[in-house]
Structure 1
């Protein structure tokens, strides 16, 4: 099998999620990172490319230069897909431009800043015939697929209750005002969008609930709270969910749960039993039954 060629926009020196994508691509073993526009800061961009061992000519000064430069290369050399690991406000314009230029796109979540932007991405993917993938990575765990299969098979009976939570504590203090770059943009409405905690980790919890149960949420009633004074976006969310078919759900997402790391937990209960999965112990799926151990 020929290894796939990946380009990346964002994820430069000091960033968080870009390095995670690169590690995941390396672990997967099917990808080579061949190009990038890692930062608008020229020095940071160059240092990142050098550290990653890229050819200097394929470390581009801007996203636009990268798309143009890679498009001009022979088909057997240029990047085949672009990973978009920038702040949220750039997801839609960059994804659409990459799709229009004939590249497949791997995009960080949330998908975009609005429904209109998301629909524009979908239209670009359809027109271009290229793939657009969104990084809801927790659905890739084997035990999550086991849970989904058991629900689909009807093992639990009709689904009644869904509880999902994602707790972190890294924003418990006002580090977004103290120079922390990761916190600073995530709490800026202009770059993160209208949802802070909700857009950053609540979206993972929401996706996992729908994915495992194969049910769509029809209605939401949510309480968004900001606990840290001066913070411009929510850092704590509680929501009631109403699923198609009558199931009811609760979603909790917080980034001020002091001491928590990535505590994503899902519980699903049907007529005959329930299941529980926790991301901090991802290889365990607990099954509970009315009439047996």
Structure 2
């Protein structure tokens, strides 16, 4: 049980930033966290103007993340921030995260964790050295029915897993909007800001994380076909992967941002020896379960027959929609409950500890680098290297 609100500092997420507002709503939803300070833009003037709009106290409304971390570090323990939330584009993740860890602050960070695999490994090493917490906001793992699916697989309900099919089609980059003033499109298609991959780095990582999270397996081999469909685009905007997992299972992963008409149609199907499951992000309250020798079943959020993990991450009675914001909030809540337990000298429960961490961040960056390498290679199967 938390005995205090956790004080959060935010880096990025100021004026005209989509994901910053999502993080603040998610962090605030359970009353466990308060926004105490911020450096909300790489432009000091914009940072301070953004902080003023959010009523951050003037003396803790910083122009740069370095200024914030150094100033907060000097404050008394009962005033300084407990953790920092980093909601900047990919290229601006590593340095503030490393500086925060070096100054003793826990970290929440948007995915993918860094710009390169080397940076991710360094952060993971620092987390292990310091014993601090790092939470990676792979939102979709926060849905109650995703938790339910994971537990059913873990309990062997479907027998050995044989096949995993996951797809994440979007249509918002079907036209060259990065050249038409769309800031979100501009940085995501810029290698200097996004990294080696566009579509696979942005949403393919979500699909891969979900496949491993629900199945409990790890990807060991990849055969990748990456495409740049829109003329002049510098990074992939579409891709198809064949996968091999560490138990011998096979899989298919499709991610596309040029699938005109699609919104965020993330879908996963997991097939075992005696049954299978199916979950759609655009209808997240329902988990479809199918059996080899019995009628299909629908599991629904908010019911007492669900696992402790699903119930821990449900907020309303059955029939009341719980969506993206609630799933995002579940990531923050589990992190906050774990951090509060650590601060009180208590042991977090297994349900509290169920959030993506630095190890997941390393696997995410390895996924990006291996997919790009496979896409550039002529060999059929490319070993998943970390």
TM-score normalised by L of structure 1? 0.98
SS state of the match for residue 93, structure 2?
helix
1:224 aligns with 2:234: no
1:49 aligns with 2:47: no
Matching residue within 217, 237, 240 for 1:238 = 240
Q: Residues of 1 paired with 2:182 and 2:248: CA distance?
A: 43
Structure 2 residue runs without a partner (length 5+): 296-386
1:14 aligns with 2:16: yes
Q: Which residue in the other structure is 2:279 paired with? A: 277
Give CA-to-partner distance per residue, 1:137-186, whole Å, 9 cap, x none.
Answer: 21111111111111111111111110001111111111111121111111
Q: Residues of 1 paired with 2:44 and 2:120: CA distance?
A: 30
Residues 39, 48 of structure 2: 8 Å contact kept: no
Q: Which residue in the other structure is 1:92 paired with? A: 94
* 1:78-227 equivalent positions in 2, closer than 5 A: 78-227=80-229
Structure 1 residue runs without a partner (length 5+): none
1:288 aligns with 2:284: no
Q: Residues of 2 paired with 1:227 and 1:23: CA distance?
A: 35
| Structure number with higher relative contact order (C-alpha < 8 Å, ≥ 6 residues apart) | 2
Give CA-to-partner distance per residue, 1:191-249, whole Å, 9 cap, x none.
Answer: 10001011111100000000001001101111111111111101111111100111000
Matching residue within 263, 266, 272 for 2:265 = 263
SS state of the match for residue 288, structure 1?
strand
Q: Residues of 1 paired with 2:93 and 2:184: CA distance?
A: 16
Q: Which residue in the other structure is 1:76 paired with? A: 78
Q: State the Cα distance separating 1:63 from its structure 2 match.
A: 0.8
**Paired residue total:** 293
SS state of the match for residue 28, structure 1?
coil
Q: State the Cα distance separating 1:72 from its structure 2 match.
A: 1.1
Q: State the Cα distance separating 1:42 from its structure 2 match.
A: 3.3
**Cα RMSD between the aligned structures?**
0.9
SS state of the match for residue 245, structure 1?
coil
Matching residue within 24, 27, 30 for 2:29 = 27
SS state of the match for residue 166, structure 2?
strand
Q: Residues of 1 paired with 2:279 and 2:29: CA distance?
A: 24
SS state of the match for residue 251, structure 1?
strand
Q: State the Cα distance separating 1:290 from its structure 2 match.
A: 1.1
SS state of the match for residue 33, structure 1?
strand
Q: State the Cα distance separating 1:44 from its structure 2 match.
A: 2.1
TM-score normalised by L of structure 2? 0.75
SS state of the match for residue 116, structure 1?
helix
SS state of the match for residue 72, structure 2?
helix
Q: Residues of 1 paired with 2:147 and 2:29: CA distance?
A: 20
Residues 39, 62 of structure 2: 8 Å contact kept: yes
Q: State the Cα distance separating 1:109 from its structure 2 match.
A: 0.5
Q: Residues of 1 paired with 2:284 and 2:69: CA distance?
A: 38
Give CA-to-partner distance per residue, 1:237-271, whole Å, 9 cap, x none.
Answer: 11111001110000011111112111111100011
Q: Which residue in the other structure is 1:62 paired with? A: 64
